[in-house]
Amino acid sequence: MSSYTRDPVDKAERHSHSLDWRDITFEVTRKSLLGKKLGVKRILNNVSGSAAPGEVVAIMGPSGSGKTSLLDILADRVSSGKIMGDVLLNKTPRTPISFRAVSAYVAQEDSLMGSFTVLETLRQSARLALPKRVGHDERERRVQHVIDIMGLRSCENTLIGDVFRKGISGGQKRRVSVAIELLKAPSVLLLDEPTSGLDSASAFNIMEYLKNLAVEDRCTIVVTIHQPSSDIWLSLSK
């Protein structure tokens, strides 16, 4: 792995945030193909937990256990169903606007343009994601920072690749997806199955990068994991 470089974002502009969830219950209404209600299915039942700055916290469980539903609730990405319980940001009830301003979400599937290089992808993402007040020099500093922190320096000029063209590995693609979200310098980072589909070495590497990010930048990180290896288990805070 490449050496870690500290986040260039001004620390006065970036504050650490803890995330707590208390007694989360989630229910959805089951319907037939014709739209007839078939009853209510409870996905989550009184689930509580917490994640503090500097921690990588895992939501674990088999497929269908509701771990992605819980992560989506924490990320404020659920638009249907009934949610009960509380999600707190720094021990106070969060609001959607305030939470989205300090958080980022990385989906399980990588959505990247195969015809772009890693560097082109990150520069384009920075132009689209960062506010206009962030000038060219600052955007470039952030791009170079996330390349270093996610260990992408050796492949920065390599195409992402797709079914038509050879490109970077699956593990590197996953790290690019994480790097894109890190451009916004979130203090809370939520990731759905970041190790899914990766070989054991790539899975361990991405968790090590996340661990370094949490410790060095005081970022609060929550991930869903299906079945972690012993090495990944040891890298988790709880």
Residues 177-223 have pLDDT tens digits of 999 999 999 999 999 998 888 888 888 888 998 998 898 889 999 99
Which has more pLDDT, 155 or 203? Answer: 155
188-192 and 220-225 strand pairing: parallel
Model confidence pLDDT, tens digit, residues 43-65? 999 999 999 999 999 999 888 88
| Span 130-156, average pLDDT | 93
What's the mean per-residue pLDDT of the chain?
88
Report how far residue 158's alpha carbon sits from residue 62's, in angstroms, rounded to the nearest whole number: 35
Model confidence pLDDT, tens digit, residues 67-111? 999 999 999 999 889 999 999 999 999 998 889 999 999 988 778
For residue 148, the one-letter residue type is D
**pTM of the full structure:** 0.83
| Span 118-147, average pLDDT | 94
User: Which domains, and CATH codes, for the chain?
Assistant: 19-235 (3.40.50.300)
Q: Is the per-residue pLDDT at 35 higher than 60?
A: yes
